[in-house]
């Protein structure tokens, strides 16, 4: 659906500006109640991978549905084969229809002794630099981020009685555990989630004062390799030299995956790679990315990737192959002199536009088979995959969002990539042709998945204000004018 060039008061730009200011002022005046709601949400230990927390996942879904009903949404909790999802709609006659995605489940809290307080007892802490931080599991990933949008809708409803455009919401409860129920749910009810654009906020600011829109995510292919040689573990004195060692075979296989220049050495791996467009390349150059600082922060001094590309290109726009874990033989105290019968490795590939996970998987399997010596068998198990996704640079929705962010942050937003993957982005793009606008307000130091996870109060507040402005911009479609 094309964006409308008229909105609820297109002939009264001054009235529209005044209305927007009223909605923003409402959000400002009610930041304390918004924060109290977030604290109630954070107190629910909705850890999706822990079966003991299944009742709490149900509680979190029910809490969200109730909050959405309170602001006028037709909301319901939908049961799945795993944890429930929440679907809500509030339709308008004019303007685009947006789908907002988030997840209410959180990561486990271990190691518990590394937390300064109970992970599910949210705390406000004042940082030495004066920033106030909301500390709790899920504060940033994704409960705080999710509620910025819900509270933005609440402010619109409080002031106007409704929303400026049609909004649907889709909140899942298994994102942190691989979304195992997603495919079946989308098969049954996915058509209900069709919209003009998907919004989500499980992403980051570029820096503390500059907002970002993530316009590309790499895809993912995860594989587990098991190599078996002898039918049992062998005495290394009795069979040393004579018996094939699966750990050595695995090590040689792993060594064959990368070339001397850091490139992936699987034949045909790069055949279908699509290079980023010139407009996107130009945007990335504007970031003035400090590669040395990026590596030094984690104790490294030089890139191990394909030397033909910059570090930023390596982690955002180029595919990769990484070894995530190796197991085999004896790991206990002291030495057990054996030649093990089996060795395992977990290997992941980050993929870029143009690459098909199934094709890359086939090339990987062929690469393995060609290198298996006699007396070895190999079993390869796929652990999951998703395609890369890119937001079209000529999107009118993108231009509207950037204009709204500039209004709130008093600076131009930047377009960034993500070396990681948010599978729902590629799933909705491939299934329904639904592009996404990932706009998050987390900071890089928010300690996602770690002890003392935090979300800055300023991120929560400005996130609400940003979504209010984005909804207003989307209602008018005027992305280049300073008027709404």
In order of 25, 199, 448, 459, the CA distances from 156 in angstroms are: 11, 17, 30, 19
Q: How confident is the model over 423-478, as pLDDT tens digits?
A: 899 899 889 999 999 999 999 899 999 999 999 999 999 999 999 999 999 997 64
438-450: burial string, b at 16+ Cβ within 10 Å, e else: bbbbbbeebbbee
Please compute, for residue 325, the number of CA atoms within 13 A of its CA located in the half-sphere on the CB side. 8
What is the structure's pLDDT at 83? 97
Q: Does 206 lie in the same domain as 224?
A: no
Which residues contact residue 457 at a Cβ distance below 8 angstroms, ignoring those fewer than 6 apart? 35, 124, 131, 132, 133, 134
Q: Is residue 223 part of a domain?
A: yes
pLDDT at 127: 87
Do 38 and 68 belong together in one domain? yes
Look up residue 140 and give its DSSP letter.
T
Q: What range defines the domain where residue 241 resides?
A: 219-273+319-386
> What pLDDT score was predicted for residue 13?
64
How many whole angstroms from its chain centre is CA 121?
25
Total count of domains within the chain? 2
Domain final residue, candidates 347, 362, 386 = 386
Outline where 317-450 has alpha helix (H).
Answer: 357-369, 396-409, 423-432
Task: With respect to residue 312, please indicate whether it lies within any of the assigned structural domains.
Answer: no
Tell me the per-residue pLDDT of 379-389, one tens digit each, with 9 for 90 and over: 999 998 889 98
Q: Output DSSP code: residue 113.
A: G
Q: What does the block give as tokens for 7?
A: 């909105």
Predicted local distance difference test score (pLDDT) of residue 7: 38
Residue 35 zone, left/alpha/beta (φ > 0; ψ -120 to 50; rest): alpha
258 and 334: one domain?
Answer: yes
Number of Cβ atoms within 10 Å of the Cβ of 29: 11
Residue 285 in domain: no
Note whether 107 and 138 are same-domain residues.
yes
Whether residue 241 is contained in a domain is answered as yes
Cα–Cα dist 287/438, whole Å: 18
What are the tokens at 49? Answer: 């991978």
pLDDT at res. 325: 94
Q: Are residues 334 and 403 in the same domain?
A: no
| Helix, strand or coil, per DSSP, at residue 374 | coil
Q: What is the pLDDT of residue 10?
A: 39
Report angle CA 328, 334, 337 to the nearest 5 degrees: 55
Which of 355, 386, 417 is a domain's end point? 386
CB < 8 Å & 24+ apart, contacts of 76-81: 78/185, 78/189, 80/174, 80/181, 80/184, 80/185, 81/180, 81/181, 81/184
The reported pTM is 0.86
Q: Which two tokens stand for residue 72?
A: 């006028």
Using DSSP, state whether 159 is helix, strand or coil. helix
Specify if 298 maps to a domain: no
Please give the pLDDT value at position 480. Answer: 35
Residues 377 and 399 in one domain: no
Q: Which among 144, 171, 216 is positioned nearest to 442, based on CA atoms?
A: 144
β-sheet bridge partners, residue 223? 347, 382
Question: Which of 353, 386, 419 is the endpoint of a domain?
Answer: 386
Residues 19 and 68 in one domain: yes
Report angle CA 213, 35, 130 to the nearest 5 degrees: 75
**472 and 331 housed in the same domain:** no
Q: How much is the pLDDT for 223?
A: 96
Residue 7 lies in a domain: no
CB 352 within 8 A of CB 421: no
Shared domain for 223 and 213, answered yes or no, is no
- pLDDT digit string, tens, across residues 148-169: 999 999 999 999 999 999 999 9
Inter-residue contact 429 to 436 (CB < 8 Å): yes
Tell me whether residue 65 is in a domain.
yes
208 and 249: one domain? no
Asked whether residue 63 is domain-assigned, the answer is yes
Q: Are residues 161 and 249 in the same domain?
A: no
Do 42 and 187 sit in the same domain of this protein?
yes
Tell me, what CATH number does 348's domain have?
3.30.70.360
- At 217 the pLDDT is 92
Structure-block tokens of residue 264: 């992936």
CATH (domain of 187): 3.40.630.10
Residue stretches of the chain with pLDDT short of 70: 1-13, 477-484
């Amino acid at each position: 659906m094309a964006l409308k060039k008229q909105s609820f008061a297109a002939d009264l730009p001054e009235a529209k500006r005044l209305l927007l200011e009223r909605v923003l002022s409402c959000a400002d005046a009610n930041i304390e109640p918004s924060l109290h709601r977030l604290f109630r949400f954070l107190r629910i230990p909705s850890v999706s991978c822990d079966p003991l927390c299944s009742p709490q996942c149900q509680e979190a879904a029910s809490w969200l549905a109730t909050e959405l009903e309170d602001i006028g949404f037709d909301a319901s909790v939908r049961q799945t084969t795993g944890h429930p999802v929440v679907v809500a709609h509030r339709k308008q006659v004019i303007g685009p229809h947006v789908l907002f995605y988030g997840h209410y489940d959180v990561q486990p809290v271990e190691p518990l002794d590394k937390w300064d307080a109970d992970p599910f007892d949210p705390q406000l802490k004042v940082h030495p630099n004066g920033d106030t931080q909301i500390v709790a599991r899920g504060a940033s990933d994704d409960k705080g981020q999710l509620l910025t949008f819900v509270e933005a809708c609440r402010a619109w409803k409080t002031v106007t009685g409704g929303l400026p455009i049609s909004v649907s919401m889709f909140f899942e409860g298994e994102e942190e555990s691989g979304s195992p129920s997603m495919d079946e749910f989308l098969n049954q009810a996915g058509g209900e989630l069709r919209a003009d654009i998907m919004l989500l906020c499980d992403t980051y600011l570029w820096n503390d004062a500059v907002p970002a829109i993530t316009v590309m995510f790499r895809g993912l292919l995860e594989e587990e390799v098991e190599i078996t040689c002898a039918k049992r573990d062998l005495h290394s004195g009795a069979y040393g030299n004579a018996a094939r060692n699966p750990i050595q075979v695995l090590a040689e296989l792993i060594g064959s995956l990368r070339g001397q220049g850091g490139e992936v050495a699987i034949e045909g791996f790069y055949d279908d790679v699509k290079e980023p467009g010139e407009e996107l390349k130009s945007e990335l150059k504007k970031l003035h990315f400090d590669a040395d600082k990026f590596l030094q922060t984690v104790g490294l001094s030089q890139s191990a990737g394909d030397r033909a590309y910059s570090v930023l290109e390596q982690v955002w726009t180029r595919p990769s192959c990484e070894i995530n874990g190796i197991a085999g033989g004896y790991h206990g105290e002291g030495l057990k002199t054996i030649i093990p019968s089996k060795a395992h490795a977990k290997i992941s590939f980050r993929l870029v536009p143009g690459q098909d996970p199934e094709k890359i998987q086939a090339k990987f399997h062929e690469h393995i088979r060609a290198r298996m010596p006699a007396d070895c068998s190999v079993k390869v198990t796929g652990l999951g995959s998703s395609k890369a996704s890119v937001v079209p640079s000529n999107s009118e929705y993108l231009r509207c969002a950037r204009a709204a962010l500039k209004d709130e942050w008093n600076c131009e937003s930047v377009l960034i990539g993500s070396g990681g993957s948010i599978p729902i982005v590629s799933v909705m793009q491939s299934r329904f042709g639904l592009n996404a606008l990932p706009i998050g307000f987390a900071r890089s130091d928010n300690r996602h998945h770690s002890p003392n996870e935090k979300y800055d109060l300023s991120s929560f507040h400005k996130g609400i204000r940003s979504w209010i402005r984005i909804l207003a911009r989307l209602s008018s479609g005027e992305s280049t004018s300073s008027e709404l």
